[in-house]
């Protein structure tokens, strides 16, 4: 079993231990590719980022709090604890995880490419980008929030998309977040009004009108798809 305290002392990593044995690490904890890392103690708090990529860990401790990013790439993690707190990005690419806990909140980006996840939890909150590309997810949850959204448009049933839009010939799509329709175009993810303003800031003439029409068409198509009786 991995002895975290021994590792912290040996590597002069700043930390404190409470009277009941809970460990708080002041800054980052980088355990990437360190052999023998198979478990961590419950109630662990890491003030900065926690890198567990390439380790043998298969489960996260209960009541884990990470102030920065949490990197789990290439691990055999199959689930996340319900009470996980991540202040930065959460990288799950290439892990064995198959589901996310309800009401998960991630302060930064959430990266799910190459995982076995087939559905997202309701009320998912992502402070940065949400990357679903390369997954078997076929629908977005009824309620979610993120700052940008990346997915394989042909796979997702509850969006509407248009290909070859704008100067970059990108695929754009409309999604319903539970509060409003939003348009995704590259790193942009905002309301149709914000989308049209962003287009006007970069385009003019027929090119601008064609791009904005593609966005409006996506919203109109998705409205009909989600409200077939209207």
Q: What is the CATH number of the domain that holds 14?
A: 3.80.10
Same domain, 223 and 148: no
State pTM to two decimals: 0.91
Same domain, 31 and 130: yes
pLDDT of 229 > 90? The answer is no
Q: Which two tokens stand for residue 39?
A: 């478990």
Final residue in a domain of this structure, among 111, 127, 157: 157
pLDDT of 204 > 90? The answer is yes
Q: What value does the mean pLDDT of the chain take? A: 95
Final residue in a domain of this structure, among 128, 157, 186: 157
Same domain, 64 and 114: yes
Give the integer Cα–Cα distance in Å for 82 and 17.
Answer: 24
Same domain, 129 and 209: no
Give the model's pLDDT for residue 82. Answer: 86
Q: Do the Cβ atoms of 77 and 54 come closer than 8 Å? A: no
Please name which of 154, 208, 191, 182 lies closest in space to residue 163, comparing C-alpha atoms: 154
Q: What is the mean pLDDT of residues 170-197?
A: 98
Task: Report how far apart, in Å, the C-alpha atoms of 12 and of each of 6, 15, 35, 40, 66 are.
Answer: 10, 9, 19, 18, 20
Same domain, 99 and 31: yes
Same domain, 136 and 191: no
Same domain, 135 and 201: no
Same domain, 103 and 27: yes
Tens of pLDDT, residue by residue over 20-69, are 999 999 999 999 999 999 999 999 999 999 999 999 999 999 999 999 99
Q: Which domain holds residue 175?
A: 160-230
Give the integer Cα–Cα distance in Å for 222 and 205.
Answer: 26
């Amino acid at each position: 079993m991995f002895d975290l305290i021994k590792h912290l002392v040996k590597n002069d990593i700043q930390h404190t231990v409470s009277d009941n044995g809970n460990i708080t690490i002041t800054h980052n904890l980088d355990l990437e590719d360190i052999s023998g890392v198979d478990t961590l103690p419950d109630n662990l708090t890491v003030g900065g980022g926690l890198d567990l990529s390439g380790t043998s860990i298969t489960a996260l401790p209960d009541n884990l709090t990470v102030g920065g990013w949490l990197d789990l790439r290439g691990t055999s993690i199959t689930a996340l604890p319900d009470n996980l707190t991540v202040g930065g990005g959460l990288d799950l690419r290439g892990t064995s995880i198959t589901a996310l806990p309800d009401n998960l909140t991630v302060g930064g980006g959430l990266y799910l490419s190459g995982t076995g996840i087939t559905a997202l939890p309701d009320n998912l909150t992502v402070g940065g980008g949400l990357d679903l590309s390369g997954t078997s997810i076929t629908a977005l949850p009824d309620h979610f929030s993120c700052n940008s959204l990346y997915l394989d448009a042909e796979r997702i049933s509850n969006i509407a998309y248009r290909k070859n839009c704008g100067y970059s010939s990108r695929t754009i799509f409309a999604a319903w977040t539970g509060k409003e329709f939003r348009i995704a175009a590259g790193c942009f993810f905002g309301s149709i009004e914000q989308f049209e303003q962003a287009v006007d800031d970069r385009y003019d003439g027929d090119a601008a009108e064609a791009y904005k029409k593609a966005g409006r068409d996506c919203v109109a198509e998705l409205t009909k798809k989600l409200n077939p009786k209207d």
